[in-house]
Structure formats: C-alpha cells, structure tokens
Amino acid sequence: MSTARIADTDGTTDPMVPRLARIARRRRDGPQVWTLEIEAEDSAGAAFAPGQFNMLTAFGVGEVPISLSGDPAEPDRLVHTIRAVGPVSTALARLGPGETVGLRGPFGVGWPMAELAGHDVLIVAGGLGLAPLRPVLYRLLAERARYGKVVLLYGTRSPQEILFRREIESWRRRLDIDIEVTVDHALGDWHGHVGVVTTLIPRASFDPAHTVALVCGPEVMMRFAVAALRDAGLPDTALFLSMERNMKCAVGLCGHCQIGPVFACRDGPVFRFDRLRNVLAVKEI
Amino acid sequence: MEIEGLERILREHSFFAGLGDAFLALVSGCARNVRFEAGHYLFHEGEPANEFYLLRHGRVALELHAPGRGPITFQTLGEGEIVGVSWLIPPYRWAYDARALTLVRAIGVDAACLRQKCEADHDLGYEMMKRVTSVLIQRLQTTRLQILDVYGTHS
C-alpha cells in the first residue's frame, strides 16, 4: 500500500486554513467539465501523490474535494478537473484566469505506485474517474521501464464526453500502452467500442497473476468492474478503488466521509478492495 | 473448408469452450465460413433468425433505428463473441440490426439445422441453452448499467 499521507501537518500550518491561489489556466474538457490549473499565491508548490485530492474553496459559496489530475512531476501546476454539478463545483468551474480560490491539501492516500513496479498495470476508468488516474498514467509513462504491460480501459457516456481526448490519442500513438475506449451509447459516426467499460475487461490482454488493477468511476461501475476483474482471476489484494465520498474536513475529524470503519479522506480515497469488500455491499453506508 | 477444420475453429471459440467432441461434430455439420465487408449487414431487425455468427475477426455493431435519430449503436462485438442469440428462443426473430464495422470473418451456424439437432438431442439442447443464457445474462447486466446512466450528472 502507498505510504502517501497527509502532507500538511508540519506544525507550522493549520490544515483547516485555506491558502490563497489563483487560476492560471482554464480549459473545457467536455460538457460541464472544466480543467483548472491553479497556482498558490505563496508560490510554494505542493508535491502530491497520484490519487490525492485538494479541498478547493469558491469564496462565498463553499468548499469541495477535487482530485489532482495533473502531472506529479510538476507540483507547481496544480491541475484539477471539475464537473459542474453542484453550487460549489459550478462556481469553481466558472472562475477564469486571475481569479482567486482557496486551497487546502493535498490530502489522502493515493494509488499504490510502489506496488506497481514490476507488475502489469490495468487501469479501469469510468467517466470523470479518469481524472484521478491521469497522474498515474503520467508517472507510468515517465518511468515506463519499471512496469510490465500497461492497459487503460476507459468508458464514458458518449463520444462527446471522452475526457482528455487529445492526450488519449497521443498515448495511443505510443507502442508501449494498450488503450481501449468505449461509450455507453453512440450514433453512426462513432467507430469505436460501444458498451459499458466492464465489457472490455474479458477482452483485455493481461496476466492476472502479475497484474494490479486500479479502478475509478461511479460506485456502481466500480462494483461491476471489480466483479469482472475477479472473474478474470485477479485476487482482491490486487484491486484498488478510489472512493468518492462527502469529504468536509479532509483530515479525518468530522466523519462526513466515513465508510464503515474507515474515513475516505484520511484512509483513502484509494483503498485496496479487501478493506472495502464487506462494506461496499451495505446499502446504508 | 472441411468439417474437421470447422470443428477445430469451433472448439477454439469461447462460445463453445468445453463442449464435447460429439456435440462439436453435430454443430459443425450446421456451420460454414462466412465473410462480410465493412458496412454490410449480418442481419436486420425483424428478420427470421436463420443464422447466427461466431466472430473470428473484425467488429460488429448492434444497432436500433430510432425515427429522426438514425441508427443508434448500443453494443459492439469483436473476436471471440457471438452475434445473435434469438435463434434458440421462439419466435426465432432478430431484435436489432447487426452491421459489420470492419471486414468480418466468422463461422455462420444454420440456426434451423442446430435447433433440429437440439430437439433431437436434449443434452445438446441444454448445452446450447446454458451458453446462450450466459450471453443473455451478461448482456442484460450491461444493459442495466447503460440504463442507470452511471456517468450522468446525478451520479
């Protein structure tokens, strides 16, 4: 398991107090989806591990957890991909270059990068779930020789909603990564796969005995993806999920993001599946 | 192609994985090699389910036509998969269009021929029913996920 941990409690800063940051760049990445690159006003970068998240404040509106979606090798560029669905995310997505946001983080336990070395890596992403996995892909591709086969299976709603399309096309041109993209529905002008992302799993080429799978997307999609991965022969100890919950304090104090015995903000958001196996089936959690 | 060659291909196809030699011989008696160019239809909605296909190469889109929207693809299939499951269940009629997206090479199985053999030998019929039901369940589950629209803004 990754040892990436809360990186903010050094005794001199209060993790509950936001730093000020400015929007440096804003790019539309799909219907209602925007990618914001922000820079902290104190110029201090924030090294982060793939899979960690920041708390972003739209002043006067509220604060939300947003995964880091940029390159961990460039910690000065804090990149977040946001879907405008609620009041806070909508307010954040409307901010333009030069405008100010509040920034706390990075928080949480990220993807198990150390465990991936020497293994095949199977990434299963659904919808906006590709955003927290993009830092993993940057790292894997930057250190390509350290890993076995790398496979990305990505599913989304429609061809118009494919996230990071240009980057996916660029990665596809490499000869050292297998990428399959599928959409749930398509009209006649789409020539790729159609069907849910789980249908790509039996078709993918990987050795289940030497593969670690990283899964991120809506919880229903992850449940079915896990079932397909187990059917393919992966043990529960080789499955990692990133859980989306209602993080508030982000440091394991308030309990809003509790999943049974664990807090998503402090113990996750990335969990090895065997830690969640018994609680995922509980509808009340 | 000789029957022996078809039997080998059928044995290696995932739909017939684990099927005994005697049954494979019965199935191969109803089978033939087929090829569809990109853009050609394997079958159309409403037609009798006379022949189903075990894909060996290429990709096929399953489509429904909606007025004013044209063809809507709800699933694509590839190598190792089966196109058409309505052949075993009355009224033996296709419920969608199947269009080759690329050059398709497949084994076509004469459905009426195989149904007769299933009626004559219920052990073979049960084997076919288990395999078709497994495909139907998988497709039902994926359809449920599509209906849930898990990537919608409510998720």
Q: Does B152 touch chain A (CB under 8 A)?
A: yes
Given this model, what pLDDT does residue B66 score?
84
Mean pLDDT score, A249-253:
84
How open is the CA angle A266-A268-A272, to the nearest 5 degrees? Answer: 145
**pLDDT one-digit tens code per residue, A136-167:** 999 999 999 999 999 999 999 999 999 999 99
Given this model, what pLDDT does residue A109 score?
94
Q: Is B18 exposed, middle or buried (0-12, 13-18, 19+ CB in 10 A)?
A: exposed
**pLDDT one-digit tens code per residue, B61-113:** 999 988 888 889 999 999 999 999 999 999 999 999 999 999 999 999 999 99
Contact A195 B78 (CB under 8 A): no
**Chain B residues inside the 8 Å CB shell of A185:** 72-74, 146
CA B86 to chain CA centroid, nearest Å: 8
Given this model, what pLDDT does residue A4 score?
39
Put residue A234 in one of left, alpha, beta given phi > 0 → left and psi -120 to 50 → alpha. beta
CA distance A252 to A262: 9
The segment(s) of chain A belonging to CATH 2.40.30.10 are 19-107
Given this model, what pLDDT does residue A11 score?
47
Given this model, what pLDDT does residue A43 score?
60
CA distance B138 to B140: 5
**pLDDT one-digit tens code per residue, A3-48:** 334 444 454 578 888 899 999 999 999 889 999 999 887 766 678 9
Given this model, what pLDDT does residue A12 score?
56
Q: Give A198's contacts (C-beta < 8 A, 6+ positions apart).
A: A155, A221, A224, A225, A227, A228, B142, B145
| Superfamily name and number for A19-107 | Translation factors (2.40.30.10)
Q: Are A179 and A173 in contact (CB under 8 A)?
A: no
Mean pLDDT score, A208-215:
96
Of the pLDDT bands very low, low, confident and very high (cuts 50, 70, 90), residue B3 is low
Mutating which of A82, A199, A219, A246 best tests the B interface, going by the most B Cβ atoms within 10 A?
Answer: A199
Q: What is the pTM of this model?
A: 0.89
Closest CA to A95 of A110, A107, A105, A80: A80
Q: Is the pLDDT of residue A285 over 80?
A: no
Which one of A126, A199, A203 has the shortest CB-CB distance to B151? A126
Closest CA to A4 of A89, A135, A110, A125: A110
Q: Is the pLDDT of residue B1 over 60?
A: no
**Chain A residues inside the 8 Å CB shell of B78:** 203
Closest CA to B88 of B110, B69, B60: B110
Given this model, what pLDDT does residue A5 score?
40
Given this model, what pLDDT does residue A40 score?
85
Domain residue spans in chain B?
Answer: 3-148
A113-242, CATH topology level: Rossmann fold (3.40.50)
Given this model, what pLDDT does residue A284 score?
64
The segment(s) of chain A belonging to CATH 3.40.50.80 are 113-242
Interface of A with B in 35-94 (CB under 8 A): 83, 85
Mean pLDDT score, A243-258:
84
Q: Is the pLDDT of residue B155 over 60?
A: no
How far CA A185 is from CA of A66, A161, B46, in Å, comes to 27, 11, 22
Given this model, what pLDDT does residue A2 score?
41
- What ipTM was predicted for this assembly? 0.84
- Percentage of residues in chain A having pLDDT higher than 90: 70
**Chain B residues inside the 8 Å CB shell of A198:** 142, 145
Given this model, what pLDDT does residue A112 score?
97
Q: Are B26 and B19 in contact (CB under 8 A)?
A: no
Please tell me which residue, A8 or A57, carries the higher pLDDT value: A57
Q: Which CATH number applies to B3-148?
A: 2.60.120.10
